[in-house]
Structure 1
Amino acid sequence: MTLLISRTDDLNACRALRRAVFIDEQNVPEDLEWDGRDAEALHILAQQDGQPIATLRMFRDPPEAKIGRVCVLPQYRGTGIGRQLMDVAIGILRDSPRIETVKLGAQLHVLEFYRPMGFEPEGPIYDDAGIPHRDMRLTL
């Protein structure tokens, strides 16, 4: 089995994963998921034997970057794919000029997924698409 995680311009593959996870599985309304910002984002895609299995998108606005839309297909959760996906994204951001911090909005049930990477919660819990979230920040 071959795992490839890299930047991608294949927005159709990323959107199909996000549809499966956020819209179909988590019942996020389509109008919230499709916010019109995909064209300005940098996308990372994980593929197992050529099949898309996980994705995220990033925005860089020095001195901060934002990671969002992190999703892994259910059958690959708990395998380390999500961590590897995040490691690639964080590596890209560490190499980006003038990026000092990385922010993300984490669903409450996955806060502990992000902590070992150095992300710390900040601010109050809030609702995003009917799902409780909390912001987290990583200093690079």
Structure 2
Amino acid sequence: MSWIIAPTTDIDACRALRRIVFIEEQSVPEDLEIDDLDGIAVHLLAQVEGRPVGTARLLRKGTTGKIGRVCVLPEARGTGLGAALIRASIDHFAADPAMTEVYLSAQVPVLGFYEKLGFTAYGPEYDDAGIPHRDMALPLAR
């Protein structure tokens, strides 16, 4: 499977993917999934043959970048696309010399996925929309 990952202003396409994965598949309440941060975020959109199949939302907090709302449609899972989305997110933040770290809130069942990409879990497990999560961080190499 060959994909293209790029920043997008098509928030509706990103929200449609998030609706399928988070709201429909994982039963996250819509009012928790859709928030006012979409308007200030950078959105990455992954496409296969022009069809959206994955997304990530990037927010800047001082010198730290936050990767969130990462999702891949079921038919594109297991292809390496999720890892490519995370690497593209890290590269986005690393391109800014002021950025020192990237963090994310990982669902506990996929901690190993993020660990393989260099992230380290910290702090206690917590509930987010009925799903156990842990925070994870990755220092940006300079």
TM-score of Structure 1 vs Structure 2, range by shorter chain:
over 0.9
Q: Deviations over 1:87-110 (max 9, x none)?
A: 111111101131101110000111
Measure the CA separation in 2 of the matches of 1:71 and 1:92.
17
Equivalent in the alignment of 1:40 = 40
Alignment gaps of 5+ in structure 1: none
Q: Which amino acid in the other structure matches residue 83 of structure 2?
A: R
Q: Which amino acid in the other structure matches residue 37 of structure 1?
A: L
Give the TM-score normalised by the residue count of structure 1: 0.97
Equivalent in the alignment of 1:63 = 63
Alignment gaps of 5+ in structure 2: none
Equivalent in the alignment of 2:11 = 11
Measure the CA separation in 2 of the matches of 1:118 and 1:62.
21
1:19-30 → structure 2 map (5 Å cutoff): 19-30=19-30
Equivalent in the alignment of 1:72 = 72
Percent sequence identity over matched residues?
A: 54
Question: How many residues were matched structurally?
Answer: 140
CA spacing shift, 1:78–1:2, aligned 2, 3 Å: closer
Q: Deviations over 1:38-76 (max 9, x none)?
A: 000000000000000000101112211110000000111
RMSD, aligned α-carbons:
0.9
Give yes or no for contact 1:62–1:100 (8 Å, CA) kept in 2: no
Moved over 3 A (4+): none
Q: Are residues 1:91 and 2:91 paired? A: yes
Secondary structure of the residue that 1:97 maps to in structure 2?
coil
Q: Deviations over 1:91-138 (max 9, x none)?
A: 111011311011100001110111121100000000000000000000
Give the TM-score normalised by the residue count of structure 2: 0.96
Secondary structure of the residue that 1:78 maps to in structure 2?
coil
Q: Deviations over 1:5-58 (max 9, x none)?
A: 000001010000000000000000000001111000000000000000000101
